[in-house]
Chain A
Amino acid sequence: MLQTMARELAPLHQGDPIKAATREAYGKALLELGEEMPDLCVLDADLSGSTKTKAFGQAYPERFFNCGVAEANMMGIAAGLASMGKTVFASSFAMFATGKAWEQVRQSIAVPEFNVKVAATHAGLTVGEDGKSHQMLEDITLMRVIPGMRVLVPADAVEARLAVRAAAEADGPFYVRLSRASTPVVFGEDYKFEIGKGAVVRDGHDIAIVACGIEVGMALAAAEELAQGGIEARVIAMASVKPIDADLITEAAQDCGCVMTAEEHQVMGGLGSAVAEVLATRAPVPMAFCGMNNEFGQSGDAWDLVSHYGLDGPGLAASARKLIESKKS
């Protein structure tokens, strides 16, 4: 059924592999949840066509509020609705939802522990041509440091749908990071997503690659390339960046002897930092961090940018080989 949904989501990407954008899955999940949860409200800030909340707005106009280009105000309104018992999803682009409105998310949503899910799309480099003003590469950090805020970065449309549902069903604040671009569907229909759990999507014992979002697909491509050179990489999809699956990471470090992280995000403070925080105390091993190194993005084709910054399959494979070399020396 999930594969069917992924196929439905990807009319433009027929053939193999099935591709879909996590934001499309978000829009679909909201429609399903709207029917099940009469207290669910959805807010947007003049980007409902792009974030895919529009369909919810058409189906449930009395529970949809377009707040206009005013993200800080939207987060305050979300907090007020939640204080009255509503479950609220508030959406914009990742840049504006977490950047423009960070303090409102912290003070008005996280401090009182309100039931607000900040679900933001267009995260990372794969916004492409819009350039650095729109390529949010700091949001995982910004959301992860807020006490009580849980952070989910699904790898594909299947996982996105499950993650959105999990966030809706759990009480309290969440950040769900979604993408604009279509990506290969990684998970099958039997996949069960759980908050706080990662998933081994390929097994291996030479290196562990922990990835989230679009980088899970890239890590799988890297593992394929590495296998041709006799290196077996374990690939872990870690959508639950916070709470993170410390046991799975520790076990991977002990089995593989080195761990690399991959994210469409700054290295500082993101998934890589979260993994390092676990391993530094539980199983210190050589590590490498793939992501943005203290720089902003730029305009260009989304996938050209991913390659340019060494975050495609070949780029990750090269970093992995270097890490394995350093492990030997």
Chain B
Amino acid sequence: MTLTDQQREEIRAAANTVRQDSVRMTNAATCGHPGGPMGMADFMSTLFLAHLNLDADNRHDPERDRFILGNGHTCAGLYSLLAQKGLFSRESLLEFRKFGSPLQGHPHRNLDLGIDMSTGSLGNGLSVGVGMALAAKQNGWGTRVYVASSDGESQEGQIWEAATAAAHYGLANLTVMVDFNNIQIDGVMREVMDVLDLREKYAAFGWHAVDVDGHDVDAIDAALCSAKEETTRPSAIICHTTIGKGVSFMEDKAAWHGVAPNDEQAREALAELGA
């Protein structure tokens, strides 16, 4: 199934809102991680709007889909999408990272808000996804489990333990979407610790693995559709993205991994994003 024109427009609009929210939320918090969610906005919006079966009405349905943000530092984007899907109010986004807010600096499991898993320590998410997918399979549910991960997170050994297990158990209901922006905190992947070709790695681990342009919503949608066709293998979608996408002075800069824009930068960024 391909995206209709209307779906495509809705996904692009949602992605733009994710980018604006990432700027607004980190600016209001005066800390946090804006760059990652801006780069992930297109594939996350495609997943949340066109594929992930999670909304305000089914949040407590045990058979609904699950989502784990393995690279938990990018949660501004997750919170934006959950708010856009009506799981909580958009006003609460500006309480991000503040004392007493359920929108913690890294996700904390809260099923009322649609947050399926606590994350923030890199490397842990995919294994939990394997467990969820195993249970869904055992129960005979149609539940699909989606895990977001990143190139930096792929340096953790546990990712590859999870990858081994997922293929071994034949978890066709499990899909990982990897944010490959070539950036980690200390700089460019190649210089810090090269992870090489992640599609080849996942394929060698027995996965159905594809590379996509992480800003091409049709290509992302097609990859998510192809994952659903798999019957015996888990799927890895390596999304090639640009950190800070959409704001000229933030794009492709490791510095925007974990620094909030100040008021002036936020104004400029929001202007570029058409806010």
Chain B residues with CB under 8 A of A192: none
List A residues at the B interface (Cβ < 8 Å).
Answer: 44, 46-50, 54, 66-70, 72-73, 95-96, 99-100, 128-134, 298-301, 304-305, 308
Partner of B184, one of A69, A128, A301: A69
In the complex, B52 has a CB within 8 A of chain A: no
Task: Please pick, from B100, B152, B153, B186, the residue contacting A300 in the complex, using a CB distance under 8 A.
Answer: B100
Q: Indicate whether A299 sits within 8 Å of B157 (C-beta atoms), given known contacts A47-B185, A47-B186, A132-B108.
A: no
Footprint of A on B, CB under 8 Å?
Answer: 29, 31-32, 72, 97-101, 104-106, 108, 118-123, 152-153, 155-157, 184-186, 192-193
- Give bound CA distance, A129 to B28, whole Å: 12
Other-chain residue from B101, B108, B193 in contact with A68 (beta carbon distance below 8 A): B193
Does more than half of chain B's interface fall in helix, strand or loop, or is it mixed? loop
Q: Which residue of A is nearest B258, CB measured?
A: A50
Q: How far is the CB of B259 from chain A (nearest CB, A)?
A: 11
In contact, A130 and B120 (Cβ under 8 angstroms): yes
Distance of A129 Cα from B32 Cα, bound (Å):
8
A130–B101 Cα gap in the complex (Å)?
A: 12
Interface centre among A44, A301, A308 (most CB of B within 10 A): A301
A304–B31 CA distance with the chains assembled, in angstroms: 16
Measured in the bound complex, the distance between the Cα atoms of B101 and A164 in whole Å is 37
Inside 8 A of B184's CB, which chain A residues have their CB?
46, 68-69
The residue that A49 contacts in the complex, of B32, B106, B186, with Cβ under 8 A, is: B186
Q: A176 to nearest B CB, angstroms?
A: 21
Q: Which of A70, A99, A129, A298 contacts B31 (CB 8 A)?
A: A129
Q: How far is the CB of B167 from chain A (nearest CB, A)?
A: 21
Q: A66-B186, A67-B193, A129-B31 are in contact. Are A100 and B123 (CB under 8 A)?
A: yes
Selected from A46, A69, A133, A299, the residue in CB contact (under 8 A) with B99 is: A299
Nearest-neighbor residue (CB-CB) of B254 within chain A:
A49
